Amino acid sequence: MLIQILTPVLAHQWFRKHEPTLSTAAACILVLPLANLAIESKLSQPDAPLHAFLDAFSIPSFLLRVLFFCFSLASLIVCYRLSPFHPLADYPGPLICKATKLWGAWVALRGDSHWYVKDLHDRYGPIIRIGPNELSFAEKDAISHILGSQGMPRGPLWDGRRFRQGSNDKPYDSLIDVRDNKIHHQLRKGWNNAFSAGPVKDYQELLEIRGKQLRDHLNSFSVKPGKGDSTPVDFAKWFSLFSFDFMGDLAFGGCFELMRDGDVHGFFTAMEEGMELPAVMQHVPWINPLMLSIPFISSRMHAFSSFGVQQATNRAAMQTKRKDLFYHLYELPAEERGGSIGDQMELIVADCLLTIVAGSDTTATTLSAILCHLLSDRKVYDTLRAELDEAFPSHSIVDGWPEIEIDKVGKLPYLNAVVNEGLRLVPALPTHLQRAPEAGSGGKVLGDMNIFIPEGTAVNISPFTLHRDPRYFSPSPEAFIPERWLANSEGTFTTNREAFIPFSYGPANCAGKPIAIIELRYLVAILIRSFDIYHASCKDATPEVLDAKAESWVNALKDRFVFGKSELLVDIVSRK
């Protein structure tokens, strides 16, 4: 009995100081009960040879010991996590969160993580415990200490977000899941160069082509003045097709035509479905290798990974003069050092997958959110329309469309306020910007906040929660009010830009932010200037009905690392 008790106690002592892995968990569950049986057999019959133990061994007896071991270990773990001896015992939070991260995985499976974390902060305060060894901060003063240049490396959650785990011998796939700050700094240099002013100019040319293509496709569904009703259009779908095509231009040399042909090859579907498993596994990353080995569970994720391999291979073989992201990130540096890109294929594949996820789905969701809120407040819509009509009064002689100068959209105050407000209410990465003290550091003190984070503790910041905090954005933090971002809003609104982190913050922020902001401004400008747009069948609806439309659409968003969105049906009338 003493041996049976001591075995799980010793295992628990080890797990208190080390992050679990699939191999260590399997070793504990299988090896320790077997060793337990062998020791008991030897103690009861000290002179018996080894084969006597093997002869006495039985599967039912072994399984019983395994069940007893697992139950004892789980009980010890839960009791310790809920006890006053745990280093995070003083932080408030639900008991279920303190006991197990499996609850966080369940919330993620439902797609409700963004609302769940916000509700916990509303209930318990700005610093809460959302996992056995995880804290969540809704404090703007903590942002620089956690995410800034003197902050912490990424936490264990990022291991569960890896798409190609096991495909190489490195502890990371791409820039986004590197947990070593030195390696991240080395990899980030290339991305910073690829999104500097010169390359972004090259990308703008690709953006203009795709933006005009989207406008022409939407025009085919529009009502021509005096010619009857339009066919409702799903803006969310079209924004997804557009952003996927644009990212294809940027990362793969222009191999996608989803706006023209539809998703006939299932590219976009593969990406959306491939995001579901990482969203859940990020909460229990040590189980990820097991999940990836089960075909019916990981098939969608593997399909998306295989898609990235194929597209990256095709782009590497292209002979093109196009100065896209691939050129600036890989081909140009290879030319400068006199080498080739062949030895970088593993990283190229992972980075291309990162580009698609981080650059397409995020932009499509934010565009959908901005348009949904604009259509729900006709006063805001008309104010933006007036600014755009004044800024871009001329039309193309060739096709009759308004001339939208892409370099000018960044200088329009109300347009920028609208984009900022959309990013505030629906940030591209809504939750789980997780960091953790560096391994071997012993812990981290959060600067002048005088809060000590023990090693082995993950720290999380949720932009979705921060952006709706009345301390930083008031009045009406849940409402879409672009005026809060205007220069003359002081005294009327509290708008704390230090708490505004839609692209994360610090050295690991979104590398593609420069082109993403331009993309959002340009697309909103070209759509509002070119069309009269209404929620489907709501042209004469009351403000209350329109508000309910926006609220319903936002509430239906699913947190899948990036947001999953429902359809956004609209009626459009051409202003050509």
Q: How far apart are CA 184 and CA 264, in angstroms?
A: 37
Secondary element (H or E) of residue 248: helix 235-252
Is the Cβ–Cβ distance between 34 and 40 less than 8 Å?
no
255 is in an annotated binding site: no
Structure tokens at 195: 């999104």
Residue 376: name the closest of 135, 162, 553 by CA: 553
Query: How many residues can be counted in the chain?
Result: 576
Which residue, 55, 5, 14, 63, is CA-closest to 34? 63
Distance CA 242, CA 271 (A): 14
Measured between alpha carbons, how far is 428 from 164 in angstroms, rounded to an integer?
22
Strands 443-445 and 452-454, bridge-based pairing: antiparallel
Enter the DSSP assignment of 327.
I
Q: Determine the Cα–Cα distance for residues 175 and 350; give it in Å rounded to an integer.
A: 8
- DSSP secondary structure letters along 352-373: HHHHHIIIIIHHHHHHHHHHHH
Joined tokens for residue 185: 């700094």
CA torsion, points 95, 97, 102, 105, in degrees to nearest 10?
140
Beta strands in 314-462 (DSSP E): 433-435, 443-445, 452-454, 458-461
Distances (CA, A) of 130 to 12, 136, 249, 574: 21, 6, 40, 49
Q: How far apart are CA 13 and CA 5, in angstroms?
A: 13
Say how far apart CA 366 and CA 239 lie, in whole Å: 9
Alpha helices in 111-231 (DSSP H): 113-124, 143-147, 181-194, 197-219
Give the residue carrying structure tokens 């952003």.
Answer: 243
Contacts of 334 (CB under 8 A, 6+ apart): 340, 341
List, as residue ranges, the binding site.
Answer: 510
Provide the annotated binding site for heme. Answer: 510
